[in-house]
Amino acid sequence: MEVESVGGSSQGGGYIQGHMCEHLTELASLGSQTLYSKYTGSQQEVGSGTSTQARDGIQHSAEHDPQTESEIIVMTGQLGTSGSGTSAGSTGMPSRGTTSTPSELHSLPTATLKPDVLLKRLKAMSGELRDSSFEYSTSVVSDHSELSSPPPTVSSKATTPVEPDSNNTTSTTQTAPPASQQPPPPIPVSRARQVPRRRYDVRPRVSIPSDMAPSDYAMQCIAAAENSRLNPYGLHEEEYQLLRDHISHAQVTTYLNIRNGILRLWMSNPLVMVTREEAIGCAKDSRWFDVANVSYEWLVRRGYINFGCVHFKASWSTQNQKAVPEQTRRRKRVVIIGAGMSGLGCARQLEGLFKQNPRRFRDMGEDVPEVVVLEGRDRVGGRVYSRAFKSKPTNPSPVFEDTRATAEMGGMIITGFERGNPLNVLVRAQLALPYHNLRADTTLYNSTGKAVDPVRDRMVEKLYNDCLDRVSEYKFKQQPSKLIEGKRDLIDEGKDSSSEGGRTIAQVEESAARQPHALPVSQQNIAPRVELVPVSTDRLTGRVHMEPGTPATLKAAYKAQLSGWNLKESVTKEDDIDLESAVAKPDATLGSVVDDVITQFKNIVNLDAQDFRMLNWHIANLEYSNAINYNQLSLQGWDIDAGYEWEGKHSMIIGGYQTVPQGLALFPTPLDIRKKSPVTRIKYSTDKSGLATVECEDGSRIEADYVVSTIPLGVLKHGSVQFEPPLPPRKAGAIERLGYGVLNKVILVYKEAFWDEDRDIFGVLRFPPTAGRHSVNQQDYTRNRGRFFQWFNVSNTSGVPCLLALMAGDAGFETEHTCNDDLVSEATRVLRSVFGSHVPEPEETVITRWASDKFARGSYSSAGPNMQQHDYDIMREPVGNLFFAGEHTIGTHPATVHGAYMSGLRAASEVMTSILGPIDVPVPLVLPRDIASLKRKATDPSITKAQVYTEEMDHHIIAQIGLPPEKPKHQSTSPFIYYSREPSVVEEARRRCDIGRRPGKGKSSWNDIRNEMAKMWKDADAETRKPFEAEAGKAKLANVEGDKAWADKLKEWNIKYAELEAKYRADNPFVPDPVEEVAAAGRRTKAQVRSYAEPDSDEDVEMDDE
């Protein structure tokens, strides 16, 4: 058995490097493997190629003391095997122009490649590939994750500053909070100013399918917005700031239709960029071309489209790559410190932004800026590190043939692809990596190897969630953001608003603010406040699932009784828990208050030692998600990211999560990454126009116009990188207050599995280290609960029989100072207590010690005990020409890989704005109808002629046969809907909700009543359900008959229309201008927008090589 201890990084960790670079020239010449016909949907093989796959085979034998501050790696053996492989064939993606069957819908997202075929996969990135289609999500909830610093308001979530109004006599003077508690400054927005108006060589509607029903098109646009983290029915906070001076409330609907249409183009195939012309073609009228252009600029700059490993069309790039005059100023340079997900995401995004705007730099007399990434390690990925085993699979599955076996030392789980996770595009569309959907079913074992009673397990979990529910009352109160919505019914139907309004949003808000007793601008059009309460725990990640509700509405005893607990003899359901004294303590934390809740619950219900072990297993799981003991978590901010979770199954990348940052580093062209360049000093300028100097450990220096620091929070806390001048007190205070902990892993490789291979996870209850097995004292469990408490079966993703144990909370820190042999022995004892004495010694072992890694100093950030509400926002604020990214700079998605990547997109946007200035908005943004008509006739008479011809033909035909028949509205076919409309049912549900309700909590909300009705429906017998099911059956039959009648009428109408159209065209022939025909050629209009839907089964997602 060989034991390897990993301090979070390795020498030679990037297996694609080395010989892989030899194939980059080959990449440019091979072209695409498969092209798709734009209009017929046919698939044509136009070429094939082979690519020798090679990996780094460097021998590493340097040994390091685990207690040193250097990277503590013991590498004994090769990182991979040398070999070759070939792959040719199609990507398996259906054409844009076809309607996919259900099986095709699943074949698209599961079209994946082995990691070692990553290079071959990306050879197919050509401009002809925007023909795939993805299944859209039906979720109507969108994410409002901030991609740039919001304006100053009471909260980081608000968007509009309070505008001073001397005429408002009701305004009151408010004392400003301390600088350390204020949210970040506003992002630059373009106020009304004169800018050159673009001229567009494109027709309206050219990117809108002409043969698709408007409602179907609208459905695809809405799905695209949801899958892009945007509300399809409302403006993003930044869109509000950008447009409030330029459009009216009535015009918001048209803007959203255009924006959602642009997102639809991107989501239809993220392998290639959406061009400006294609985006402009989403406007239905040339008057809205400038609006479409502004929306396109914002979506591109903020990283909602054209991000990741995206291919830029050759025809587009060559026409923009003109020579820069020799008299040009010095070429600007952006230096990014760190080649983790945030650094690589920022670098790749900047490269893309620069490539899309060469003309802007040429007009400035400059060449396109260069991007340089400095990385201290000799690999990319940062805290995403897939460590290669020496062990090889005995009988490898096809996905592991000719590839290395790996395990995740750091970032490991993708927490759902749906609802806007950008990794959906990176992993499933652009890199097409294989992944394994994790099964969340978890068995908890006690010390005797027996599984705990599942009923008791659920009871304890409910009690644990109730503990968190009661402390949720003391969380930071987030200020709701602005909510400017369009008309939902029109957006659902794909129609623009016929009304345009007279005054802009700003004018309406400011006028309203001047009225007596009116709200200031910042408090108008605010979204309803939604409180979230814990309802369940994600055992795969330790995160708590939240749902809308009111915290701690029911008395503790009554709630425990509802959860199945028997109350003690002297306890009634009116007894409650008092937390005021625990919360009032000056050093109160989440852990100290929850411990107090558990102690009080012990006086309400009978909790035995087994119950305490299960409770502390859940606490250890929470400590795993925060990488620190929960006594070091803020009572107010411990779940600051609640409500921003993704949807979909959790998954792991087969062959290594590190292939994602490696793909970002290499494709479509290699980034300039300078490895083994640890940074020791950053001299920045407080003036954004000044220069910065970055000094490396070897004494070398590099000058930069802009610096982006993705240095982990642990390294910033350690102070090993000096800043000149020192960082402002505001940012230094946030660095000090935010928490940063460590999660370590013990990874064991065996010859064969002795565990249940159909499960991905199991848990082990741990005893107190000294107090004995029967302790019911909560404090006794603190130290030991996170030691080997959770085990992952990673055989499906690593390629060899492998178990991965977590060391969370105090155990994570103790791992740093415990020798390898002791840890392996303890792990083996734990496994033998569950599976018996036949458990063998592992063949190979890897142990992480992230806190000892000088490039990480830990695992990820958390809400420290003294954290203030806006600390994550303060961490992302630029200081002069120094910008910041990393998981510790995004409060909506901290401590996650996707959060790190999103922060890189945001930092790239800020750098771009600093270089080019805010997005230009012409005035007026929407041309009046009369001016637009005159301009169109003067500049493009052929287009006007075609439009007039079509309109006259439509009027002629509709005057004879009328408008097409409208599709009838469907009645609900859900029996529960009819059940919930019954007045007696509503009253009974309200009565049940009010039972046991704590004083001062108000009346039960409709959401509470509806949830109670759902429980009542679930418990109802067949006799109770029968009349409502009958009513639903009648509605279903009526819907079918109505649809059939409508379809018959529509068919008859279409036949009449076609006959009259043919007659009209014969009697009144129209010959379009040749220029118009050329402009229309090659336009992409019809494709079904789909997300990368996961298969219904839990089987691994693979791609068969042909």
Say whether pLDDT at 152 is over 50. Answer: no
Say whether pLDDT at 551 is over 90. Answer: no
CB 1076 within 8 A of CB 943: yes
How many percent of the chain have pLDDT more than 90? Answer: 50
Task: Say what the alpha-carbon torsion angle 373, 378, 379, 382 is, to the nearest 10 degrees.
Answer: -70
How sure is the predictor about 20, in pLDDT bands with cuts at 50, 70 and 90? very low
| CATH class for the domain made up of 333-380+658-739+859-916 | alpha beta
pLDDT at 33: 30
What is the spatial distance between Cα 177 and Cα 278, in angstroms, rounded to a whole number? 46
Average pLDDT over residues 219-224: 96
pLDDT at 1046: 87
Q: Give the phi and the psi of residue 93 in degrees, each rounded to 5.
A: -90, 130
Q: Is 119 or 962 the better-scoring residue by pLDDT?
A: 962
What is the spatial distance between Cα 977 and Cα 1018, in angstroms, rounded to a whole number? 13
Average pLDDT over residues 784-806: 95
pLDDT at 208: 94
pLDDT at 531: 66
**Residues spanned by CATH 1.10.10.10 within the chain?**
179-306+487-522
How sure is the predictor about 167, in pLDDT bands with cuts at 50, 70 and 90? very low
pLDDT at 6: 64
Q: What is the mean pLDDT of the chain?
A: 79
Q: How far from chain centre, in Å, is Cα 113? A: 22
What is the spatial distance between Cα 490 and Cα 356, in angstroms, rounded to a whole number? 33
**Residues spanned by CATH 3.50.50.60 within the chain?**
333-380+658-739+859-916
Average pLDDT over residues 390-395: 79
CB 650 within 8 A of CB 415: yes
The residues pairing with 381 across neighbouring beta strands, listed in sequence order, are 340
* Domain 179-306+487-522: which CATH number of 1.10.10.10, 3.40.50.150, 1.10.620.20, 1.10.3720.10: 1.10.10.10
Closest by CA to 1065, choosing from 961, 950, 964, is 950
Helix intervals (H) in 270-370: 276-280, 289-301, 314-320, 341-356, 358-363
How sure is the predictor about 534, in pLDDT bands with cuts at 50, 70 and 90? low
pLDDT at 124: 42
How sure is the predictor about 644, in pLDDT bands with cuts at 50, 70 and 90? confident
CB 433 within 8 A of CB 118: yes
Average pLDDT over residues 40-54: 33
pLDDT at 731: 97
Say whether pLDDT at 68 is over 90. Answer: no
Max mean pLDDT among 321-325, 567-571, 895-899, 927-931 falls in 895-899
Say whether pLDDT at 939 is over 50. Answer: no
pLDDT at 948: 74
CB 149 within 8 A of CB 187: yes
pLDDT at 353: 95
Burial 802-837 (b: 16+ CB within 10 A, else e): bbbbbbbbbbbbbbbebebeebbeebbebbebbeee
Average pLDDT over residues 703-730: 97
Say whether pLDDT at 681 is over 80. Answer: yes
Say whether pLDDT at 159 is over 50. Answer: no
Say whether pLDDT at 845 is over 90. Answer: yes
Average pLDDT over residues 565-584: 89
Give the tens place of pLDDT for each residue, 876-914.
999 999 999 999 999 999 999 999 999 999 999 999 999
Average pLDDT over residues 294-307: 97
pLDDT at 2: 46
How many percent of the chain have pLDDT more than 70? Answer: 73
How sure is the predictor about 962, in pLDDT bands with cuts at 50, 70 and 90? confident
Give the tens place of pLDDT for each residue, 400-454.
776 788 999 999 999 999 989 999 999 999 999 999 999 888 899 987 789 999 9
Q: Is 719 or 1005 the better-scoring residue by pLDDT?
A: 719
Average pLDDT over residues 54-69: 34
Average pLDDT over residues 33-61: 31
How sure is the predictor about 472, in pLDDT bands with cuts at 50, 70 and 90? confident
Say whether pLDDT at 193 is over 60. Answer: no
Instruction: Provide the residue count of the chain.
Output: 1106
Out of 128-142, 298-312, 1058-1072, pick the least confident: 128-142
Cis bond before residue 668 (omega within 30° of 0): yes
CB 802 within 8 A of CB 795: yes
Out of 260-264, 337-341, 1057-1061, pick the least confident: 1057-1061
Closest by CA to 442, choosing from 802, 785, 759, 801, is 759
The tally of CA atoms less than 13 A away on the side-chain side of residue 1069 is 2
